[in-house]
Amino acid sequence: MRLPYGGDAWLVTRYSDARIVLADPRFSRAATLGADIPRMLPDPDYAPAILTMDPPAHTRIRRLVAGAFSARQVAALRPMIEAHADDLIDRMLAAGPPADLVAGFGKPLAMAVICDVLGVPPGDQERFRGWSTTAVTAQTVAPAELEAALANLSGYLTELVAARRRHPTDDVLGQLVAARDDGEQLSEEELVFLGVTLLVAGHETSEKAIADAMFVLLQRPQQVERLRADPGLLPTAVEELLRYLPLETAGGAFSRVVTEELELGGVRLEAGDVVFVRLSVANRDPRTFAEPDRLDLTRARNPHLAFGHGIHLCLGSYLGRTELQVSLDRLLDRLPRLRLAVDPAEVQWRTDGFVRGPVRLPVTW
Ligand code: HEM
């Protein structure tokens, strides 16, 4: 395919090929940094993020944060996530219908959860929300605006890090500061940028996934009734929604550079070639998923790629799925008559971030 900048790249859509590109070290993320390669944005990517690292740097950084986002740690966070969800539903009930599930539920829930995990004061949201939105809508903002937003976010995280040096904490940011200061396991720049990545990736993705899932579910009342009748089905249902939803946007795919000549899916790739993977298409590959275009909330075998695969598999995959499980559980349980308040065709979509999501999702009950 032809990209807006830097020429032609390969687009990988077959499930088996997608898994190879995401897991084989001959497809490098680090080689995309600062390189004049096929890309969506005018400027090459310079952000020294965990997602733009190869081993051993990636292994070193990932090890520092993996524990905080493990299945066990996230299971312990569930009551906190439920409390935030219930609080937001209380407010919706108090205000009465209709409500917007984006502004009134998905957005504030995802933000409250990641702030809690990182130890970011929720009261600071007004300061960093705009910068964060700019950072993920890089395709539609001027390069200078993007640079300023990233600089502001880094400045903000630098302040939070300094505060933790004065008063140590045991939240994720506090743990990272301790790792930095005790044996220098990461540089100051890596520390600050990891904080920025976690803050931005931690809410922009989940808030949209929650709204996307509700948009799809609320159009299928029979499936909703089935979920209500059997809440034990929720984890399976959430995996199916993650497979089924087209979450990524055109600019929301992270390219890889081929490091040596190889063959993929019968095509010869040269060193230096650039490859994009379309996760949402791979997730509907009929060679892997029977009846891929059918939403089957009971689908038992579901090795979807919504969180990626290989060493960059989403760090927040347990957190993201738990936020989805809790959201569906609480909304369906507490609002038995919940339904869309508009024709689905009227819902407008944001496609300028990494994850696609409704601008507003009007509901009533
Ligand atoms: C449903 C919500 C989410 C979805 C669909 C999602 C999706 C993804 C995908 C597809 C990747 C891999 C990209 C690639 O390899 O090209 C990824 C990586 C990542 N995600 Fe998520 N994500 C979600 C929630 C979160 C949350 C809540 C966090 C907060 C911690 C997070 C943090 C990250 C990080 C740090 C990486 C990079 C990991 C690495 O390079 O080792 N994500 N995410």
At residue 325, does pLDDT exceed 80?
A: yes
At residue 336, does pLDDT exceed 70?
A: yes
The residue whose CB lies within 8 Å of the most ligand 1 atoms, and thus the one to mutate among 109, 117, 203, 205, is 205
Give the pLDDT confidence score for residue 345 in this predicted structure.
Answer: 97
Please report which confidence band the pLDDT of residue 115 belongs to, taking 50, 70 and 90 as the band edges. very high
At residue 249, does pLDDT exceed 70?
A: yes
* Residue predicted with more confidence, 244 or 40: 244
The rounded Å distance from CA 69 to ligand 1 centre is 11
225-233 LR contacts (CB < 8 Å, sep 24+): 226/297, 227/297, 227/328, 227/332, 228/332, 228/333, 228/336, 231/329, 231/333, 233/297, 233/298
Taking CA atoms only, the protein residue closest to ligand 1 atom 40 is 51
Please report which confidence band the pLDDT of residue 340 belongs to, taking 50, 70 and 90 as the band edges. very high
CB 172 within 8 A of CB 201: no
At residue 273, does pLDDT exceed 90?
A: yes
With a pLDDT cut of 90, the percent of the chain lying above it is: 76
Please report which confidence band the pLDDT of residue 131 belongs to, taking 50, 70 and 90 as the band edges. confident
* Residue predicted with more confidence, 64 or 29: 29
DSSP assignments along 294-307, one per residue: S--TT-S-----TT
At residue 135, does pLDDT exceed 70?
A: yes
Q: Is 206 in the pocket of ligand 1 (CB under 6 A)?
A: yes
The rounded Å distance from CA 358 to ligand 1 centre is 19
Q: Is 172 in the pocket of ligand 1 (CB under 6 A)?
A: no
The residue whose CB lies within 8 Å of the most ligand 1 atoms, and thus the one to mutate among 239, 304, 314, 356, is 314
Q: Is 247 in the pocket of ligand 1 (CB under 6 A)?
A: yes
Taking CA atoms only, the protein residue closest to ligand 1 atom 7 is 307
Please report which confidence band the pLDDT of residue 144 belongs to, taking 50, 70 and 90 as the band edges. confident
CB 321 within 8 A of CB 70: no
Please report which confidence band the pLDDT of residue 122 belongs to, taking 50, 70 and 90 as the band edges. confident
Q: Which residues contact 95 (CB under 8 A, 6 or more apart)?
A: none
Active-site residue set? 201, 204, 206, 314, 323
Q: Is 62 in the pocket of ligand 1 (CB under 6 A)?
A: yes
- Mean local confidence (pLDDT), 222-251: 94
Give the pLDDT confidence score for residue 351 in this predicted structure.
Answer: 86
Q: Relative to the CA of 254, which ligand 1 atom is closest?
A: 16
Q: Relative to the CA of 22, which ligand 1 atom is closest?
A: 15
**What is the tens place of the pLDDT at every residue in 54-85?**
999 999 999 989 989 999 999 999 999 999 99
Q: Is 307 in the pocket of ligand 1 (CB under 6 A)?
A: yes
- Mean local confidence (pLDDT), 231-243: 97
At residue 149, does pLDDT exceed 80?
A: yes
Give the pLDDT confidence score for residue 184 in this predicted structure.
Answer: 66
Q: Is 308 in the pocket of ligand 1 (CB under 6 A)?
A: yes
With a pLDDT cut of 70, the percent of the chain lying above it is: 99
Q: Which residues contact 84 (CB under 8 A, 6 or more apart)?
A: 108, 109, 112, 113, 116
Please report which confidence band the pLDDT of residue 132 belongs to, taking 50, 70 and 90 as the band edges. confident
- For 119, the 3-state DSSP assignment is coil
At residue 153, does pLDDT exceed 80?
A: yes
* Residue predicted with more confidence, 127 or 293: 293
* Residue predicted with more confidence, 252 or 29: 29
CB 311 within 8 A of CB 325: no
DSSP annotation of 56: T
* Residue predicted with more confidence, 29 or 67: 29
Q: How far is CA 186 from CA 8, 166, 179, 212, in A?
A: 35, 19, 7, 36
Q: Match 């395709």 to its residue by tokens.
A: 139
Give the pLDDT confidence score for residue 263 in this predicted structure.
Answer: 98
Q: Is 50 in the pocket of ligand 1 (CB under 6 A)?
A: yes
At residue 251, does pLDDT exceed 80?
A: no
Taking CA atoms only, the protein residue closest to ligand 1 atom 11 is 314
Taking CA atoms only, the protein residue closest to ligand 1 atom 35 is 315
Q: Is 331 in the pocket of ligand 1 (CB under 6 A)?
A: no
Question: For the whole model, what pTM was predicted?
Answer: 0.95
At residue 360, does pLDDT exceed 70?
A: yes
Average model confidence (pLDDT) across the chain: 93
Give the pLDDT confidence score for residue 116 in this predicted structure.
Answer: 92
Q: Relative to the CA of 58, which ligand 1 atom is closest?
A: 41
The rounded Å distance from CA 317 to ligand 1 centre is 7
- Mean local confidence (pLDDT), 296-302: 95
Q: Is 283 in the pocket of ligand 1 (CB under 6 A)?
A: no
